[in-house]
Amino acid sequence: MKETYRFQHKHILGIEQLSVADILHILDTAISFKEISNRSIKKVPTLKGKTIINFFFEPSTRTRLSFEIAAKRMSADTFGITAATSSAKKGETLIDTACNLQAMNPDLIIIRHGSSGAPGLLTRHIDASIINAGDGTHQHPSQALLDMMTIREHKGSIDGLKIALIGDIAHSRVAHSNILGFTKMGADVKVAGPATFMIPHLDLLGARVCSTVEEAIADADVVMALRIQKERQNDPLIPSLREYARFYGINRSRLKHAKPDALIMHPGPINRGVEMDPDVADGKGSVILEQVTNGVAVRMALLYLVLGQEGGRAE
C-alpha cells in the first residue's frame, strides 16, 4: 500500500532537517501559491486568525518583507519588531524576549539573528513554530528553497546540474544552506573564492573546492555569486575589493566558461562591480529578481505547511 506523504515539521531551522520529499513538496506548494501574487486581489483566507511575528535582529530587505507579504497574502495577522526597537536594546535576553512574545500567544515567530543557533535555542523555550530567517553564519533555509524553486522553474530539475558558488563561502549562511540543498537534490556543487573565505571539510557538505573561479564555473548550469559578509569579519580577509573583483568577480569574460544558457544568481544584496559586474547582474541569464519573486511564494508555502494547514501536522 502506498504511504501518503505528510509534511511533519513544526519548525524550519536548516536544510538538513528536510528530506528530498519535503523539499519537493515545499517547492510544489510554492508553485501552486505563486499565481496568487499575480491576481488583482492578492489575498486568500488560508491563514486567517493566525498570528505571525517577524523578529529581525539584523537588517533585511528581501527576507523580512517577503515573509510579511507572504503572511498578509494568506490573511494572517503579522507584527514586526527589530532589535533596535525592542527591549533587547535595554538588555533583555533573547530567551526572555521570546518568552514574552510567547505570552502573547503567536502561532509562528520568524527570526533573523546574528548568532548561529539562536532560532534552534528558541524552539526549546517557546511553543510557537519558529522559522529561521538567517542565523549568523549557520543557515538561511528559506533562501535555499527559493533558489531551488528558481532553478527548477528554468531547468526542470536540480538533479544532475552543475552549480558553482563563488565568493565568501565561510561567512555565508546562504552558501551553507544551498550546498546542503543542492547536493541533497542531486547537483554537482563546486565552490571557489579566496582561501580566507573557505572552511575546512567543505567536501563533507558535498561541495568540491576549486582553486580558480574558471575551474568552478566550467560547464556550469548555474553560477551563483555570494556577497562578502563584512559584518561577520573582524579583520579584513582580502587585500582589496579591486583585487577581489579581478580574481573572483563574475564578469562576462569568466562566464564564457559556463554553459551558454547558465543561470546567473545572487541572493542579494549585490555589491555591483565587486562580486558581480552590473552587466552580468542585469543581463542575459540573470534570474536575480525572479529569486526575489519566488521568495514570496516559497515563504507562503512554508507558513502554510509549518502551521499545519495542509491537514494536521503530527506534533
Out of 267, 275, 277, 281, which residue is the one contacting ligand CP (CB under 6 A)?
A: 267
- Identity of the residue, 231 or 243, whose beta carbon is nearer to ligand CP in the bound complex: 231
Q: Which of 29, 63, 78, 150 is catalytic?
A: 63
Q: Residue 315 Cβ, how far from ligand CP at the closest point, in Å?
A: 30
Is 173 labeled as catalytic in the residue annotation? no
Which one of residues 129, 143, 150, 178 is an interface residue with ligand CP (CB under 6 A)? Answer: 143
Residue 194 or 267: the one with the smaller Cβ distance to ligand CP is 267
- Residues 120, 122, 128: CA angle, nearest 5 degrees: 110
Binding to ligand CP by residue 62, rule CB under 6 A? yes
Q: What is the Cα–Cα distance from 145 to 149, expressed in whole angstroms? A: 6
Asked if 299 is an active-site residue, the reply is no
- Distance in Å, CB of 108 to ligand CP, minimum: 18
Q: In whole angstroms, how close is the CB of 66 to ligand CP at the nearest point?
A: 8
Binding string, residues 177-216; x marks residues near ligand CP by CB under 6 A:
----------------------------------------
Residue type, 150: T
Q: Cis before residue 269, ω within 30 degrees of 0? A: yes
- Does 64 qualify as catalytic in the annotation? no
> Judged by CB under 6 A, does residue 117 bind ligand CP?
no
Residue type, 158: I
Give how far Cα 243 sits from Cα of 11, 28, 121, 249, 287, Å: 41, 42, 39, 9, 26
The C-alpha cell at 103 is 505570552
DSSP 58-111: S--SHHHHHHHHHHHHTT-EEEEEETTTSGGGGT--HHHHHHHHHTT--SEEEE
Q: In the sheet that 263-265 helps form, which strands lie side by side, from edge to edge? A: 207-209, 188-192, 162-166, 222-225, 263-265
Residue 120 interacts with ligand CP (CB under 6 A)?
no
Distances (CA, A) of 40 to 18, 47, 75, 217: 34, 19, 15, 41
From the centroid of its chain, how far is CA 99? 26
Choose, by CB under 6 A, the member of 11, 27, 53, 63 that binds ligand CP. Answer: 63
Q: Of these, 268, 272, 290, 309, which contacts ligand CP (CB under 6 A)?
A: 268
Radius of gyration of the chain (CA): 19
Q: Is 150 in the site for ligand CP (CB under 6 A)?
A: no
Closer to ligand CP by CB, 64 or 138: give it.
Answer: 64
Is 272 annotated in the active site?
no
Whether 140 sits among the annotated catalytic residues: the reply is yes
Considering only the stretches 29-37, 54-62, 156-164, 199-207, report the one whose residues sit in contact with ligand CP under the rule CB under 6 A: 54-62
Instruction: Give the C-alpha separation, 94 to 86, whole Å.
Output: 11
61 interacts with ligand CP by CB under 6 A:
yes
Contact set with ligand CP (CB under 6 A): 60-64, 134, 140, 143, 267-269
Active site residues: 62-63, 90, 112, 140
